[in-house]
Structure 1
Amino acid sequence: MAHAEKRTYDKRARKWRYRGRYKLPNGKWGSVSRDEHGQPFYSERSAEQYAHGLEVDVRRKQFINPRDGRITVEEWAQLWLPSIDVGPLSEKEYRLRLKNHILPEWGSVAIGDLSPTAIITWEKGLRRRLSQNYADGVMSVFRTMLDDAVVEKIRGDNPVATRKSGRRGRYQPKPKDEKVIATPRQALLIARNALEMRGLNEYVIVLASAYTGLRIGELAGVHRDQLALKDRGQGPRLHSVQQSQYVGGEFTEIGNKYDSGRGLILPPFLADLLQQLLDSRPGSDWVFTAPKGGRLLRGGDWYAETWQPMVSGRAPRGVVRGAKARVGVRPVLGVEGLTPHGLRHSHKVWLDEGNHPRVAVEARMGHVLQGVEGTYSHVTLAMELAIAEYLQGLWEDSLRVVVDRREFGPYPPLKPSRVRRSPKLLPNAV
């Protein structure tokens, strides 16, 4: 039976301290000298009552040993990371969010000492420094890690508030969706800029992303033998079963995001363009390649040096100090800030505007319908062919000349070139 024992005299508080004794699930005696708030027991009754509550939890099989909560956040993270089952890129992001944000602030704190109020205060500062999406990602990792700590009975509750926790405070309306969407005509203009800058490969990959909804990494992972471009009554098809990614310093292929491998019927114009691209490089195993024919890698340099100028334009430049001349392209108006992933969003919008069956649209995007609708709805060949015909119509409409509005802006200013200056000679130099 739970009871209390006198321990030591607290000179600062000028009181005796007590500890509670209680039976553990294994039949041995446990002891507790502080409550859940970290305060010591200064009376025999308070220690006994707390110990009695722990014994009740043992009988109800809800017991959480206070000593288990002394493990630090960093120690728990080292145990927790090997247990997660996510893709290599997701695991990399988990580790970066822990290393750069969570552990520097909370690594040395015991999990049992984590305070919801302190975490919310830290989150407010985090959101002032980071973008909304990245801050959400950091808090999601922290919340998931502590959810698993609750399951392991290291702590009784999760101190990281959920988004639907209903905490009091100022009303924060949900931010509006500011994703930039391109029309078929704007996608064509971006692709034409890509053709001027980088040739056929970039031209086709922009249009393939816009008219298939595939991610850039998924397009980069398409092999030659995954194309069936001859229409034998079921439409030309592209089979996407993997994506190319740069993981752990090595270029590799992994499964599509969310295991969303799928085959897509292509509009005829895109099948013709892909055939032209294949014919231009007969020895390549991949459909889309780097400029010199190697594996396609989309990194930070490509976004800055290729994608952004395709959308925002760049000024022409002649030969300067041995550097090659550079063709200029004008910015496409109305899509300022468009990202490559925005082409995937644009594809979804186009299909929604065409009022195609939701199950066919979501299947083309690689999504799975939930609930009863997902159980009883199925994609048919007629639905897929109708989508391909609709996309072909969008393409043909985009080729029409537009004379009543401006589509291109002026060239952006040319950045000043860096002037190499010879080092000044020292006074005693010969």
Structure 2
Amino acid sequence: MGFAENRGTYWRGRYKIAPGNYGTVQDENGKTKRFKTKRAAEKAANVAEEKAAEEAARPPAAPEPERMTFGEYASAWYEDQDLAASTMQNYRRHIEEHLLPEFEDVYLDEITKGAVDAWERRERERDYAPSSIKTWRGTLHLILADAVDAGLHDSNPASRRRGRGKRAGRSRNRSREKVITTGLGILLIAERTALLSGRDDEFVGVVLKGYTGMRWGEIVGLEAEFIRPASVRVEWQLYELDSGEMHRCPPKDDSYRTLDTPPFLARLLAGQVVRAGTKPCECHGLRYLFSGHGAANGAARRPGAKLVDVARAAGVSTGTVSNVLNRPHAVAPDTRSRVEKAIADLGYIRYWPSGENAAHWRRNGFATWLFHPATTGWYPKKAPEEARPVPLLAEPWPGIPARGRGAAGRAEAHWLPIQRGLTPHGLRHTHKTLMDGFGTPPKLKDERMGHEDGSVQARYSHITPEMRSRLMDDLTAEWDAALEARRRMSPGSPVGVLDTLLRGGQ
């Protein structure tokens, strides 16, 4: 409690600040305030003491956060993440190739919703797919949300308010429905991919994907030891990183599962195990069911700096280095300069493919040079070449791809398209659609696709041996009908494994 102190000609107010520590009431100039009466001094002292107590009880004010540019924060944010290698690779690509060129030197608290929307419009003007732009904006939203939590921004300018904009916009940006095919389509595409590669492996791989719905990485990473007499066990996948490394990791969402295989597929897989041999791959030391169809990248055995070394020296991803080499206009000038300096300092020289086959299929190579030509009958546009039909020697049917110099001039025929727009992933959609047509129970469909239904109905549903047997019968009937339809087109095939099947062999 405050008190008054007599100073002879005036009174001053005194109040307790802390044990053994007292203060004096002061005026606005910081000088001792003089009171004429004792009562006035006591009253002012009490007010000052209450104010001092309130200030002492108040928590200390948080220090003002240091301002950071988006580039500084994004770099620190990325280093703090501990996610799957594929996710880290995708985040890095989004940041370096699409976010840093726009926001790298902008302070976080100066990024506005208008700036984000303007960036998105410019990305659309560059003809990027709406789904890709949505993904990049999602990464930006995630980074800025963490910046808000850190007190570096008042709100998230990358957020979208629900229900804003024209209703037509939602349908305009909707992705196309996935293209699928039939059982006969699977067989014909498998035959053509094998003709393009010159071996049976691709025939078995495409049929396996169409009749099990396995993901691409699960097929590439399928080890021979997981092929059983009537099933395939999904334990691992191989995920292709920007560095070219085939990263061995668990299947997506930990969807470990055993897939029943109908007898015809079990026999094809048993034959493929024999063709695959016993030699393990050099990268993992494991026996895989399938190997690459094209020339191996000899960069790993070539002396000197590699692409990944340039990326590390410049502090960027290998995808960014590739862009500097192939599309320099798509890279921010500062980043491009760092990469070019690293290339010069390290003496990096671009690799030339070797004559050996790669240890594993590569997603882009398989889709571009085997699957796309097989489904459409055309090789895609690839600078400096324009899109062109696959040149064929007409006999034996369905034609043998002509190869070497002057192949187009020696062509006697071209393939008609089987299913334009179909992708390797479309075979997974095809398998699910086939099961829908069979009336397969949802629980069994989810098991084969590696999906999980958390509903109450799914919890009370169970798979019986009869359900599994019925699905195997349905898949066998679909295959037999496709094989018979193919036999009516021609009784034989240049593809050895299919020729055996068409002529009645097992």
- Per the normalisation by structure 1, the TM-score is 0.71
Q: Mark the CA change 1:125 to 1:374 in structure 2 (over 3 Å): closer, same or farther.
A: farther
Q: Cα 1:320–1:225, aligned 2, differ >3 Å: closer, same or farther? A: closer
Deviations 1:357-401 (A, max 9, x none): 212212211111134344444444443333222211211122232
Equivalence for 1:148: 146
Identify, as 1 or 2, the structure richer in helix: 2
Q: Give the C-alpha shift of residue 294 in structure 1.
A: 5.6
1:336 match: secondary structure: coil
Write the deviation string for residues 24-74 of structure 1: whole angstroms up to 9, x where unpaired.
xxxxxxxxxxxxxxxxxxxxxxxxxxxxxxxxxxx899x987x43722211
Matched, 1:112 2:112: no
Task: Describe the superposition over 1:128-166 as per-residue Cα deviations: whole angstroms up to 9, x where unpaired.
Answer: 32112211110111111122223333333211123x622
Separation in 2, partners of 1:237, 1:254 = 21
Structure 2 unaligned segments of length 5 or more: list them. 1-57, 280-286, 294-355, 378-389, 393-400, 490-506
**Kindly tell me: are residues 145 and 309 of structure 1, through their superposed partners in 2, closer, same or farther at Cα, counting changes over 3 Å?**
same
SS at match of 1:263: strand
Structure 2 equivalent of residue 350 of structure 1: 434
2:155 corresponds in structure 1 to 157
Q: Distance in 1 between matches of 2:391 and 2:163?
A: 51
Aligned mates of 1:156, 1:374 — CA distance in 2: 43
Alpha-carbon distance change, 319 to 301 in structure 1, aligned in 2, over 3 angstroms: closer
AA aligned opposite 2:195? E
Alignment partner, residue 331 of structure 1: 416
Q: Deviations over 1:211-230 (max 9, x none)?
A: 1111222111111110112x
Is it true that 1:126 corresponds to 2:123 in the alignment? yes
What does 1:32-43 align with in structure 2 at a 5 Å threshold? Answer: none
* One-letter identity of the residue aligned with 1:337: G
Letter in 1 for 2:228: A
1:208 deviates by 0.4
Q: Which moved more, 1:111-120 or 1:283-292?
A: 283-292
Q: Which is greater in Rg? A: 2
2:425 maps to 341
Name the CA distance, whole Å, in 2 between partners of 1:131 and 1:92: 20
Q: Which has the higher contact order (CA 8 A, sep 6+)?
A: 2
Alignment of 1:26-425 (within 5 A): 67-68=64-65, 70-129=67-126, 130-162=128-160, 165-169=162-166, 171-174=168-171, 175=174, 177-198=176-197, 199-229=199-229, 236-247=230-241, 248-284=243-279, 285-291=287-293, 295-313=359-377, 314-316=390-392, 321=405, 330-333=415-418, 335-401=419-485
Percent same amino acid among aligned pairs? 28
User: How many Å apart are 1:193 and its aligned residue?
Assistant: 0.9
Aligned residues: 338
- Is the Cα–Cα contact under 8 Å of residues 131 and 175 in structure 2 kept in the other structure? no
Distance 1:402 1:160, change over 3 A: same
Equivalent residues of 1:72, 1:109 under 8 A apart = yes
For residue 337 of structure 2, what is the aligned residue in structure 1?
none
User: What does the per-residue CA deviation read over 1:87-112, in whole Å, with 9 as the maximum and x for residues that have no partner?
Assistant: 21221111111111111111222222
Give per-residue Cα distances to partners, 1:319-359, cap 9 Å, x unaligned: 755989999762333x1121111111111111122222212
Contact 1:68 1:154 in 2 (8 A): yes
Structure 1 pair 249–326 and aligned structure 2 pair: CA distance change class (3 A): farther
What letter matches 1:351 in structure 2? M
Contact 1:310–1:331 (8 Å) recurs in 2: no
Partner of 1:283, secondary structure, is coil
State whether residues 77 and 145 of structure 1, in contact with CA within 8 Å, keep that contact through their aligned partners in structure 2. yes
C-alpha change, 1:74 and 1:382, in structure 2 (3 Å) is farther
- Give the residue type in structure 2 aligned to 1:241: E
**Is the contact between residue 309 and residue 329 of structure 1 (CA under 8 Å) also seen in structure 2?**
no
Q: Structure 1 residues 327 and 347, CA, compared in 2 at 3 Å: closer, same or farther?
A: farther
CA distance in 1, matches of 2:457, 2:153: 39
From the superposition, tell whether residues 185 and 97 of structure 1 become closer, same or farther in structure 2 (CA, over 3 Å). same
Whether contact under 8 Å (2:182, 2:430) holds in the other structure is: yes
SS in 1 for 2:391: coil
- What does the per-residue CA deviation read over 1:212-250, in whole Å, with 9 as the maximum and x for residues that have no partner? 111222111111110112xxxxxx110111112333332
TM-score, with length taken from structure 2 = 0.61
State the distance in 2 between where 1:321 and 1:390 align. 46
CA contact 1:193–1:310 (8 Å) conserved in 2: yes
Amino acid across the alignment from 2:148: V
Q: Aligned to 2:360, what secondary structure does the other structure show?
A: coil
Residue 264 of structure 1 aligns to a residue whose secondary structure is strand
- For structure 1, which segment, 380-389 or 71-80, has the greater mean C-alpha deviation from structure 2 after superposition? 380-389
In the alignment, the residues of structure 2 paired with residue 393 and residue 258 of structure 1 have an alpha-carbon distance, to the nearest angstrom, of: 32
Q: Distance in 2 between matches of 1:372 and 1:237?
A: 29
Contact 2:443-2:458 at 8 Å conserved across structures: yes
CA gap of 1:307–1:102, structure 2 versus 1, over 3 A, is same
Cα pair 1:193 1:329 within 8 Å, conserved: no
Contact persistence 2:391–2:407 (CA under 8 A): no
**Alpha carbons 2:216, 2:425 under 8 Å: kept:** yes
Deviates more, 1:370-379 or 1:217-226: 370-379
Alpha-carbon distance between aligned partners in 2 of 1:404 and 1:202, rounded to the nearest angstrom: 23
Q: In structure 1, what residue type is equivalent to 2:140?
A: F
Gaps of 5+ in 1: 1-58, 230-235, 406-430
Secondary structure of residue in 2 paired with 1:400: helix
